[in-house]
Every structure is written in C-alpha cells, then in structure tokens.
Amino acid sequence: MGTLRDLQFALQLKIEELRQRDALIDELELELDAKDDLIRRLQGELDRLRLTLSAPGTSGSTAVSTSLRTKRQAVVCEPTSVDPKHLLETLPDSHSKSLESQRLIETALLESECVRYMGRGQVQALVDSAYSVTLGQGACLVQEGEEGSQAYVIEEGKMKVSRAGQRLQTVEPGRLLGELALFHSYTRSSTLTALVNCKVWVLEQKDFRTIVQRSSLLRTSHTLDLLRSVPAVSSLPQQQLIHLAHSLRECHYNNSDFIIRPGCAVDSLFIVSRGQVRVTERHSVSEEPVGLSTLSRGDCFGETGLRGDDMRMRSVVAVGNVTCLVIDRESVRKLTGGSEDAAKNTSETNQHKTNRSDEDGTLPCVVTLSDLQVLCELGEGQFSHVKLVHVKGDVRRLYALKMVRKCSLLSSGQQERVLTERQILMEAHSPFIVRLYQTFRDSVCVYVLMEACLGGDLWSLLNRRGVFGDEACRFYAAGVSEALVYLHSHNIVHRDVRPENVLLDQRGYPKLTGFGCAKRLDSLESADSVDSLGSVGRCWSFCGTPGYLAPEVILLKGHGVAVDIWALGVFVYELLAGSSPFLSTDLMSTYSAVLKGIDAVDFPKSIGSTAAGIIKTLCRSDPSERLGSQRNGVKDIQRHQWFEGFDWEGLKQNTLTSPVSPSEISEGDYGKSDSFSEEQTNPASVDGADWDKDFCSSPH
C-alpha cells in the first residue's frame, strides 16, 4: 500500500509540475505576444519617423527617400448595384445573435479608425448583417496572398497571425480583422489560423457597401422631399434642387442653443430637418423679446436675409435637440441664379476645341498598324507597353502607341475601364489633355495611338527635384485646372489626378492623362423619377489612388466632380512638400488620415501661408465647402489669391515659359528603328467576346 501511495503522490507531483509548466508556457506566450506588439509599435514609429525625415520641407533635406518615392497604383472597386430603386428596396439579410454578440461586434467596429466615421444606423445594420462561422483547431480562416472581401470579429477562441511562415501575433476575441476588405478587395498580407476551436463573425464587403450606399440615397431622397416643401426653393427646376440637396450641410443644436443671435446679420438659409425652433423679436434693446412663431420640420428661416432684408432684431433658439440643413447666401446665388461665368465657360470650352484642331502633330490621315514604325520604348505599365512611333515616311511627327494586353485585361476585369477611357479621350479636345488620335486591335492587344509627350511625367520630374517652388507649382496646377474646367463642363470626373498622370510635352507644358478611373456623370436633366434623384450626377465606385482619395469616396457616400477638386489640393501640397499630406505606412492609416482632415496635417515650412490657404480650401472634408464646387466650378479656384498675377492667357496661348529647362526634357535615344509587328507582343492570341470591336475606329 505504501508503494501505491508513493506512486500516487509521485503522479500528483508530475501532474502539478506539468500544470505549472503549461501555465509558464501560457505566460511566456503572453509575454511573447506583448513583445511582438511592442516591436510592431516601435517599427511603426520608426516607419513614421523615416517618412517624416524623408519628406522635403520637414527637415533640412530636399530629397525624398527613393524607396518611398515609388509610382502608385489606383484602387478600383465597383458598387454591387448602380440601380437606386433596387438599393432603396434592398437590405442585407439580418442574422440573429445575442445582445452580447451584438455589443462585441459593434465595439470592434467602432474601434476602427475608418468605420467610426459611419453613422450609428449604418453600424447597427452592419452588425445585424454579420453571420457566424466555427473553426476547428488548426483551421485556416485567411490565407496569405488570396484576394479578400470579408472582415472578421472573433467572439470565442484565439487565432494566430503569420506571414511567410513566421508567427506575428496571437489575436484574442473582440478584434476586428481585415477591415480594409470592407472598403475594397485586396491581397491578404498574412494568414489567420485557429489555435483552438473558434467562433468568428463574418462581415461581407457587399453588405457594407449596400448599407452605406442605401443610407446615402435615403438621406438625399429625404432632403429633396424636404426642399420641395420649402416655399423659398420649391419652385426651382429639378436639377437645381438636386444641386442644392448635395450642397446642404447638416448642423446640430442642443436645447436653448442660439441658432441666430439678435444683432447678427443672417446670410444663410436654414431648413429645420428635425425638432423645433422658437423665433422671437426685440424691437429695442430695452424691450423683452416677443415670441413670433415656433417652426418645425420643413419650415425655414433666414430666407429674408437671403433677399437682403434685415433680420438683426430677431433670434432663433433651439427647442430641444434640433437638426438644420444650412446653405449660405453666396452658394444659393451660385446654384440658383445666373452666373456671369456660365456663358464664358462654354465659350472658353469651345475655344479649347478650336485651338486643339490647329495643333501640330495631328494625323495626316487614317493609318493602320503596319503603317507605324517603332523608334523605342517609352515606358511600361501594369498591363501595357508604350512605344514611340512615327508613320512610315514622316519622321517629323512622333506619336505614343500604347499596347494593352487583352489577356491581362480579361483576367483582371478591366476591359470596361479601357473602353471608358477610349470613349472619353476620343471626344476630349483640350490642349491640357493628352490627345488620342486612333485606336486599333488584333488578336493579342488593343492599341491606342496618342500624342507623344516627350517631357515624361510630372512625378518623375518631382522625384528628381524633390520639391517645386510656388511659381513652378502654380504653372502645373494651372494646367491641370484648365483640364478640369474642360472635363467638368462635359460632366466628366477624372478621379485620379496625381503627378504620375500629368505628362509634359516638348515645351514642358502639362497635359492630363490616366483616364482609367474617369467617368461620365449622368446629366442632372436626365433625372426623371424620385428614385433616381439621389444618384444622378454621382458615382459610387471606390476608385482612385489612396493618398488622393476624397473622404466621400472612402466613406462610400457617392461622389461627383468635387473629388477632382480635393485631389487638386493634394496635388498642390505634394508638389510643394514632396509627399502627400496623408502619407502613411499602410492603406488603413492613410484612409484614417484623410478622414481626420487637412486641418490635422502639419504643413512644412516649404508651403507658404497663401499656398496653405488654397490647399485647405480645396481639401475641405465637406464637398460642398470646397473652393470650386459651386456654380462657377474650377474658375473660382483660378481666382484665388495664390494665383494672383498668374498669366492665364499666356498659359492658354503657349507664351509662358515652362519651369522645366530644355535640358531636363529627355527625348530618349531614337536611333534604333523597327517596323511594328504582332511578334513584338505576346504571341498568344486571346479568344473571347467581341468586347473590343470599337477599337477599329478613329476619332472624328
């Protein structure tokens, strides 16, 4: 018996020893995770310091780190539906879950630096749409390198994050994982593996986009209904009502807050959207205020001020919590009244077209691929090659031939973008937009014969110089603004304005290119039903280059030409500072910086106060507040103080001297000449639908 007791005692000791060892292992794993977190935080701080030190204007250096100055790629994610009526009638499926699970998912979402900018109702709808999956120990939830369109919240268990086989961290319940996939699909950078049995809530990108887009459409539809009940604006034409609905800003007031104080001039129109307000009037300073009226939803005030009448003896006070839709007098005038620039803009746009037809370098006649002689390669893109060519027998006129591989387009689903780019450029006639002359196709590629801009792209020049001064920056920004004047007057939004998409001709003049993200907006006059009013004149794609995306694109609110105005502000900043104002180490941090706004950005000394002023007015988070977003459009930007003294007529007549010296414009080595043939491209032909049939034609 003694021996048995000894064995039992020894067994208990071993069990206790194993328990302590397991506890030690768990403790060490926690310490390891903590150290991993510390390493990542320190690495992030190090990356941010490197970015700061390498950005010109923030230190003594005027050169940007070569490793950081790499050409950027646009991100494109199309909406799940573009039919407003369908969206208004559709809600993602709701999946039942306990109150604790709802709180867990909501808390995880609100900890996201981007999701927290969504409305409460949107977040709740997203929580409702989440569905659960269970994973056994060792099961893989996400595989490194695969395309992702889902985000996850762990409720039970633990998961291991690894990259290239190396463990990075352990994730506990309550964390939102893969949130970038809610905004757009991307290639997963790490693998998620269950360490124990896990319960995970799945959030689908399509549900997220549907919820946000539907919410925006409903808000606009309700605003339009409200405007139709306001006598001051109800008689406006439908297209002006839509403009007005998109330009109104929402203001919130608490009980007893003064909305209008006595003695203050009123230059805005207020429309009560929610709650009630009390209007009082005081005839003299010694008299008590007399109540005039109580206003509720659909009532408006301040319209007398809009007519120039005096409302200074009146006050308006919130009764309880109140929401008003507000627009200032000048915006109302520009949106609803006649603009002195409207006819002028049309005339100048037509003049652009006339000037274009007189330019040198036009094709003498329609040519075929076999008529072209290749001089050299100009560059290579994600799906394309660009070659410098001339028509046989005419070496004086040079062209750029862009060759896009069909197999790459089909595999990536980009054929619609190429067709849109072709259609827009075929019709574009502006000296500040790269001209398209003719298109071709064969079994391997589609081809675009374009104007040869031998000065290279502005990004490369900026990369060599580090930064530009105000004079040079004004020159390039002016050229881009002229391109935007033309595009916006034709209801075209570019959506990818950045230095990489600005080419320089032989004189160093800028020309806008890169129309892969461009879109022709529906005309406001085409709105023919209540269901369509919320979406007309707007786009819903997540489209553009991350550092240049406007907040409304990131938040999927629907966007119009104002995104180009935002991008122009970022463009000016980058030329003057050498880097984007929202530069960060990863996409979510970049998007978060954009949503925090331009006022959270520390401007370097290389940007003067006047330049900072135009950047901040272009990069207002509310699209309706951006300089250039009203009736006069980009022309208002050109009148800003920063452009004071700029020779706009000289720019249009090509009499201004370019900031780029002739020695900086490299025309390359054109000594090697080859005839063009299909053998110069991938020899494998591509079968499929006749989607590219229009590439046989040339512009009229």
Question: Which residue in 176, 127, 179 sits closest to 149, CA to CA?
Answer: 179
Question: Which residue in 603, 510, 517, 632 sits closest to 564, CA to CA?
Answer: 517
Long-range contacts of 283-287 (CB under 8 A, 24+ apart): 283/313
345: left (phi over 0), alpha (psi -120 to 50) or beta: alpha
- Cα(675)–Cα(667) distance, rounded to whole angstroms? 20
Long-range contacts of 101-109 (CB under 8 A, 24+ apart): 101/132, 101/155, 101/201, 102/127, 104/153, 104/155, 104/173, 104/174, 104/201, 105/130, 105/153, 105/201, 105/203, 107/174, 108/153, 108/174, 108/175, 108/176, 109/153, 109/176
Q: What b-and-e string marks burial along 602-634, b requiring 16 or more CB atoms within 10 Å of the CB? A: ebbebbeeebbebbbbbbbbebbebbbbbbbbb
Does 402 count as an annotated binding residue?
yes
Does 406 count as an annotated binding residue?
yes
Question: Which residue in 317, 324, 322 sits closest to 260, CA to CA?
Answer: 317
DSSP state of 664: G
As given in the structure block, the two tokens for residue 374 are 């290749």
Describe the crossing of helices 562-577 and 609-618 by its angle, rounded to 10 degrees.
150
- Cα(383)–Cα(412) distance, rounded to whole angstroms? 10
Q: Is 496 a catalytic residue?
A: yes
As given in the structure block, the two tokens for residue 145 are 């390198």
Neighbouring residues of 275: CB distance < 8 A, sequence distance ≥ 6 = 253, 296, 297, 318, 319, 320, 321, 322, 323
As given in the structure block, the two tokens for residue 512 are 């806008």
Which amino acid is present at 486? Y
Give me the catalytic one of 128, 207, 496, 505.
496
Per the annotation, binding residues are: 402, 406
> Looking at the annotation, which residues are catalytic?
496
State the binding site for ATP. 402, 406
